[in-house]
Every structure is written in structure tokens, then in C-alpha cells.
Amino acid sequence: MNISAKDYDYIWHPYTHQLHRHEAIAITDGKGALLFDEEGNEYIDGISSWWVNVHGHGNKFIAKKIYAQAKKLQQVIFTSFTHKPAVALAEKLLSILPGNPGKIFYSDNGSTATEVALKMCLQYWVNKGEPARKKIIAFENAYHGDTFGAMSISQRGTYTDAYRDKLFEVLFIPLPKGQNLEQIAQLIDQRTDLAGFIYEPLLLGAGGMKMYEAKHFDNLLRIVRGKKLLLIADEVLTGFYRTGKMFASERMHTKPDIICLSKGLTGGTMALGVTSCTAEVHEAFLSADKTKTLFHGHSFTANPLACTAANASLELFAGEKYPGRIEKLVKHNMKFASRLTAFAEQGIIKDVRQCGTVLAFEVQTKE
Ligand code: PMP
């Protein structure tokens, strides 16, 4: 029996309708932008394996680093113990993340990165003696992951309907368009129960590749910061040059207090999550009172192999060729967008939009 047939019998895949399903394509190899299946067919990995693969498949530099680390230390509990790859990665991230990050908290995927951010934000206010601040603001159509906290701060819909009454209430606001800023400001104004604002900067990914302008967003961030709320940038998807800059938050003057990373962090090789926070956020957890501890951790927190892969990926990004390559890619993408606009005029597609290296459009279907 081939891999796909066995898979059909044994495995329950994510987001997959269980009654009407096809056999999954069994991928055996990856090289650059290409994937190969067990029959030798070739595929362009247009979704970069769920937005994680940033240097192409089969990167030998990262593979060699992982192999070397695997011979030394593959895993160690991360409470009371640490290791060089985690420390090196934290030091590097603190030097390149926008704003004034003071600490790195590790977990192991994008949903855990946003869960940790939420817990940090909510407990920050509890620890500071303002427990009434417990409401989170999020964007309409947001997507921050599939665990319960992450689902709560994401758009309600088909994905969350079965658990709707278990999700906590959130203040959803529209994307800033310029003319609606005053209206959004009114939603926030006078409220004393708000804790923080979580957002996917400039690009709402899973919610429909919706893009919005840095200029308007910066104005919104300034308003929210003025209300003393914590700003949480979910850069799980936008991180690592997707929007043309290493981090999308670099494009706004108002910087986040907390940043979530995953996906491209390890160059698309291994699962790792990061939640950074400012020294000011961390300070709220410095207390003789042990109940003020952030009680959160996962078995594979800061896995040494994953941290090694992330260090290797950042080394590649720091290589002299990189900034030029990204600029070229962005220019190429802009040209591509203008060509696609011609198709839009013929009514085949609509809403061509582009942000850095990301290009999106809607396929015009018959009503
Ligand atoms: N935040 C954003 C913006 C995402 O796009 C995703 C994943 N698509 C997540 C969080 C969740 O990440 P993960 O799939 O690793 O749990």
C-alpha cells in the first residue's frame, strides 16, 4: 500500500472534512520552491508550506546546524535549565525586534505564542492591581490560532461555531481606513475595562489576506496607546520579510509592547514560538508574591534543535545578499500585481492587492 492510501486509513488531517475527503498527496522531497510526491510529480509550494518556509526547502546550511546540535543536546526541560541556542536566539531577537523588547518567552507554535501574549497581558493588569481591565480588542476577521484563547480573539465563524459559548467576549473593531478612525476611537473611549489590543500588522492572513495602510494604522495605534492598553503584535505570519521589512511593526512609529513570532522563525524547519515583551511588562511579574508568576510552559519549550534552526535562519537573513533580494522580490511582486490588474479589467479576477512580498486577489465567480 502506498503512503497516501495508508494515510487515508490512519490519519485525521487538519481542517479536513471527514466524510468527503480525498487521499492526501504524499510528499517525499523538497528542494527550493518545489515539492515532489512519491510518484515523482513536481509541485510549486505556493503557500510555502503554510507560510513557514522562508529560505526554500532542503536548506543545507540549516540542516547541518540542526545535525550538529542533535549530536550534542536534543531536548532539556526549560524550567531551571537553559542552553546556548536559546540564549543566543533570545539575544539576537532582542537586538532586532522593533520597540524595546526586554524579555523572550518561548513556546512551540503560533497559537501558543498568542496564548502566552494574552496571558501576559491579562495577568499584567491583575498583577498591577487593576483586574477590571480584562477585555481584549481585536480586529474583525482576525485570526490568531486554534486554541481556546486564540479562537476567542479571532473572528467568530464556521471554525469556531461549535465552541462559541466557551469563547470569551472580545471587542472587535474594523480595520482602520482613515475616515473611520473617529468611530473606532469612540468604541474605545470612556471604557475602563480594556486590557490590550492584539493585531496582525498590515495584513490579516487567514481572515482573507486583507491589507490595510501603515499610515492609518499608526494613527489607530497612537489612540490605543494613549489609553494605556498593551499593544500586542501578532507577527506569526508577517514576520521575516513577508511585508518587505523583517517585521511589519517596523513600518509604524508606535511599537508594540508584546510581539508573537512563529512560522518563519526556524526557516520553515521546526516548531517554535516566541512571545517577546518589554521590560515594563516583565516588571509587573517581579514580585515576592508567587501567585504573580506567569504559570505557563510546554514540554518542548525552547527545544534546542528548533532554537538552533532559528539561529541558522537568522544568520542566513543577516547575510549580505538578503536585503537586496527582498527589495528585488518586492519590486517583482509590484510588477506582477500591475499585470494582474489587467486581468481584473477583464473581469476574471478582482481586488488585486499587494503588501511587500505578498500578493492577493479574488477570483471572480459567477453569482
Ligand atoms: N497568528 C497568525 C497571524 C497566524 O497566521 C497563525 C497561523 N496561520 C497563527 C497565529 C497560529 O499559528 P499556528 O498555526 O502555528 O498555531
Ligand 1 pocket, 252 CB below 6 A? no
- pLDDT for the residue 348: 86
Pairing of strands 42-44, 34-37: antiparallel
- pLDDT for the residue 342: 83
Q: What is the rounded distance in angstroms from the CA atom of residue 274 to the CA atom of residue 79?
A: 16
Q: What is the pLDDT of residues 284-340, one digit of tens each?
A: 999 999 999 999 999 999 999 999 999 999 999 999 778 789 999 999 999 999 999
- pLDDT for the residue 1: 63
CA of 141 to the centre of ligand 1 (A): 14
CA of 50 to the centre of ligand 1 (A): 9
Q: Count CA within 13 A, CB hemisphere, residue 235.
A: 29
SS percent in the chain: helix, strand, coil, step 5: 40, 20, 45
- pLDDT for the residue 367: 65
What is this structure's pTM? Answer: 0.97
Ligand 1 atom nearest to CA at 109: 15
For residue 277, what is its C-alpha cell?
A: 515583551
Q: What is the rounded distance in angstroms from the CA atom of residue 172 to the CA atom of residue 334?
A: 31
The residue whose C-alpha atom lies closest to atom 10 belonging to ligand 1 is 144
CA of 342 to the centre of ligand 1 (A): 33
Q: What is the rounded distance in angstroms from the CA atom of residue 76 to the CA atom of residue 251?
A: 37
Nearest to 145, CA basis, from 246, 25, 14, 17: 14
Q: Which residues are catalytic?
A: 15, 143, 234, 263
Q: Do residues 113 and 306 touch, judged by C-beta distance below 8 A? A: no
- With a cut of 70, list the residues of the chain below it in pLDDT: 1, 367
Q: Do residues 76 and 83 touch, judged by C-beta distance below 8 A? A: yes
Ligand 1 atom nearest to CA at 114: 10
